[in-house]
Structure formats: structure tokens, C-alpha cells
């Protein structure tokens, strides 16, 4: 649960920062929103998979499956969003920075969540 709270706080911060970028707002907002949405969906899917499985090893495997699937989905989403941002005439560098800077923080939060599954028997 605390991982989802951290991710939500980071999502709010990254979208807020994107809104304050002035002329680069559209590209930055697309990047921050895409990164934030994909991370929150990933964590929610991990929690769903973990709740359905019994045993520590099965919980970790379920979470890692979600990590793999959402990684591939993010690649497709980034490609589509990059195309959309370019077609709209927005700044691509703003999109890339606003997507990947929070992405690495989200990846760390997701990794910490998976690691927490190896330590805890009861996951809330």
C-alpha cells in the first residue's frame, strides 16, 4: 500500500511539474501523464496478482509477470505517444524528459514493491 502512495505522490508531482513548463507544456504533460498512468496501472495490477496467489514465491512470480507485461506495454505506449506528440507539433524532448525522469523513479518503487514481497508473508 505504501508503494502505491509513493507512486501516486510522484505522479502528482510530475504532472504538476509538467504543467509549469510554459511553452513545452503539451509535450511534458503527455510524457508525465503517460509515465504516471502506466506506473499506477502496473502497481495496481501487481497488487491484484499478489492478492490472488498464496505463498511467497507465487506472489513474487505474479508480480514479476506484471512487470514484464507492463514493460512491453510501456514500449508500445511510448511509441504511440511519441508519434502523437510529434503529429501535434509539441516538443519531443519535453515529452521524453517528462516520461523517462519519473519512469526511473517509478521503476524503483515497483522494484521495491517486488522486493517487499520476498520479505513479507502477509501482503496488504
Summarised one tens digit per residue, pLDDT across range 9-56 is 999 999 999 999 989 999 999 999 999 999 999 999 999 888 887 788
> In this structure, is residue 98 part of a structural domain?
yes
For residue 20, the 8-state DSSP code is T
For residue 121, the 8-state DSSP code is S
Q: What does pTM read for this prediction?
A: 0.86
Rounded distance between C-alpha atoms, residue 106 and residue 24, angstroms: 22
Report how far Cα 50 is from the mean position of its chain's Cα atoms.
18
> In this structure, is residue 109 part of a structural domain?
yes
Domain count, the chain: 1
The cell for 53 is: 496467489
CB distance 67 to 41 below 8 Å: no
Structural domain for 73, as ranges: 2-18+26-119
pLDDT of res. 36: 96
Nearest to 98 by CA among 35, 5, 23, 47: 35
| pLDDT, mean of residues 80-105 | 94
55 torsion bin: left (phi>0), alpha (psi -120 to 50), beta (else): left
Q: 123 falls in which pLDDT band (50, 70, 90)?
A: very low
pLDDT of res. 53: 72
> In this structure, is residue 124 part of a structural domain?
no
Rounded distance between C-alpha atoms, residue 40 and residue 76, angstroms: 17
Amino acid at each position: 500500500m505504501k508503494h502505491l502512495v509513493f507512486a501516486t505522490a510522484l505522479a502528482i508531482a510530475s504532472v504538476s511539474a509538467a504543467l509549469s513548463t510554459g511553452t513545452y507544456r503539451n509535450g511534458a504533460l503527455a510524457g508525465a501523464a503517460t509515465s504516471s498512468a502506466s506506473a499506477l496501472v502496473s502497481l495496481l495490477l501487481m497488487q491484484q496478482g499478489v492478492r490472488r496467489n498464496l505463498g511467497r514465491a507465487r506472489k513474487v512470480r505474479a508480480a514479476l509477470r506484471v512487470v514484464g507485461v507492463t514493460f512491453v506495454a510501456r514500449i508500445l505506449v511510448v511509441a504511440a505517444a511519441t508519434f502523437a506528440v510529434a503529429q501535434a507539433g509539441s516538443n519531443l524532448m519535453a515529452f521524453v524528459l517528462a516520461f523517462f525522469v519519473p519512469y526511473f523513479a517509478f521503476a524503483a518503487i515497483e522494484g521495491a514493491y517486488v522486493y517487499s514481497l520476498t520479505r513479507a508473508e502477509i501482503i496488504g
